[in-house]
Structure 1
Amino acid sequence: MSAVQRTDEVPEPAEDASATLELPFRAPYDWPRMLRFLAGRATPGVEAVEDGAWLRAIDFNGASGTLAVRRHARKRCLVAQIDGPVSRHAAALAAPLGRVFDIHANPAAIAGGLGADPWLGPLVTAAPGLRVPGAWSGF
């Protein structure tokens, strides 16, 4: 007779676990300027911008891991690669990533609202798709 052990614990995801999120946005999206902004303010040892991607080490709800966010080559979305045990929280990470990259902005509404301004109109025309970068955390 073999003994069966019962456990109510949820196993921790493996260190090599991963998940991918697609974060859609309205075009245009000035990805190069977003990356330049984030690169200039990256926290050493936590964030970096390399090879067209924003990289970050994170801890979310007690699980750690890394993020790599890139613009999709053909689709109107950003692609977030989430690696490590934190990947089990992939769906919940969409909200903070959306804030960081301002994916919910409506460029047409922004251009319509600011386009008639004599000072801001030419800037909006010269750099369509600018976003307001957010922070991963307020602390």
Structure 2
Amino acid sequence: MARAVGVVGDRWSLLIIRDVFDGIHRFGALQRSLGVAKNILSDRLRSLTGHGVLALQTASDGSAYNEYVLTDRGKELFYLVVALRQWGEDHLFSSGEPHSELRETGTDRLVARLQLLDSRGRTLGPDGAYVHKTDAGSVSG
């Protein structure tokens, strides 16, 4: 977990990833959305690109701009972003306070609560799992 936090664990990196998931891809648009200093944004984008979370590509509209897009590795962070979003909605908003909602593309239905399942498909809570340290070269199944 420490290695993962080293890549995506600071506030700005997570918010950049959230914004790219939400369709914001250009440097200027990210800077306006986040209100972050340009040097900090540049540093985080360079780090996320260097770790293979984001890639820089030519703008999809054919303009001279470049865009930041999620790589396959970056798209795997979707569950982390959803978990943080749902936790925040549960604990950091007052009753009736406006906030964003995550909805399914195509049906416009609210996304179901994220759940971790055990090997039999049952909901797994924190008391139902433990961390097993492996030796170099050993494989768990």
TM-score interval, normalised by the smaller of the two chains: under 0.3
Q: More helix by proportion, 1 or 2?
A: 2
The structure whose RCO (Cα within 8 Å, separation 6+) is larger is 1
The structure number with the bigger radius of gyration is 1
Q: More strand by proportion, 1 or 2?
A: 1
After TM superposition, the score normalised by the length of structure 2 is 0.23
After TM superposition, the score normalised by the length of structure 1 is 0.23
